[in-house]
């Protein structure tokens, strides 16, 4: 049963990621990213990591996606102009992607002991996990929150109509 659920939600995550890239409207891309995040949360549940699954839903599918959607709506991004892209990127990108997939497939097929995966130690408690997150990783957590705040302020500054030029012209 776990294997079937894994393949279903792994397929949903892959389909959501491909749909994210193929969408032309940013809001639809954000919704596809929510599908990917929820699929990853279910995969975490299948691995027995309930805390990570709930954190994935609350933090990423909830807060971060609301922030993305807010910024996209604030910037009022309309339709993007379609271009054919670079011929060099097309000529080099597709063979490079095929080569990378072939290398990864070769490594996976030649790997020894894939079926012997197991838990080496007991699963840590939420208290131990929170101690690591909020003591050992507090500085990166705070730096990330400051960077997100700077990104929000940058989006607001970019979204201002005329960047203050309209006030100067109206005063003249």
- Could you say which DSSP state residue 114 is in? G
Can you list the domains of the chain with their CATH numbers?
Answer: 1-79 (1.20.120.1200)
Contact 75, 159 (CB under 8 A): yes
Instruction: Report which of residues 61 and 142 the model is more confident about.
Output: 142
Q: How confident is the model at residue 14 (pLDDT cuts 50, 70, 90)?
A: very high
Please report, rounded to a whole number, the percentage of residues in the chain having pLDDT higher than 90: 8
**pTM of the predicted structure, to 2 decimals:** 0.52
Task: Give me the sign of the Cα torsion angle 138, 139, 143, 149.
Answer: positive
Q: CA–CA separation, 150 vs 102, rounded Å?
A: 40
Report pLDDT for 17. 92
pLDDT per residue over 32-88, tens digit each?
Answer: 888 899 999 999 988 888 888 888 888 887 787 777 777 777 776 556 566 666 677
Q: What is the mean pLDDT of residues 6-19?
A: 91
Report pLDDT for 162. 57
């Amino acid at each position: 049963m776990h294997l079937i659920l894994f393949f279903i939600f792994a397929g949903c995550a892959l389909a959501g990621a491909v749909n994210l890239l193929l969408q032309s409207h940013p809001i639809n891309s954000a919704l596809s990213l929510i599908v990917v995040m929820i699929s990853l949360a279910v995969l975490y549940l299948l691995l027995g990591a309930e805390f990570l699954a709930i954190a994935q839903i609350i933090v990423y599918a909830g807060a971060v996606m609301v922030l993305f959607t807010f910024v996209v709506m604030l910037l009022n991004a309309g339709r993007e102009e379609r271009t054919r892209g670079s011929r060099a990127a097309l000529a080099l990108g597709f063979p490079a992607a095929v080569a990378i997939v072939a290398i990864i497939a070769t490594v996976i097929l030649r790997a020894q002991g894939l079926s012997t995966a197991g838990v080496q130690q007991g699963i840590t408690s939420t208290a131990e996990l929170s101690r690591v997150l909020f003591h050992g990783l507090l500085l990166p957590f705070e730096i990330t929150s400051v960077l997100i705040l700077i990104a929000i302020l940058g989006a607001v500054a970019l979204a201002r109509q005329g960047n203050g030029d309209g006030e100067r012209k109206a005063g003249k």
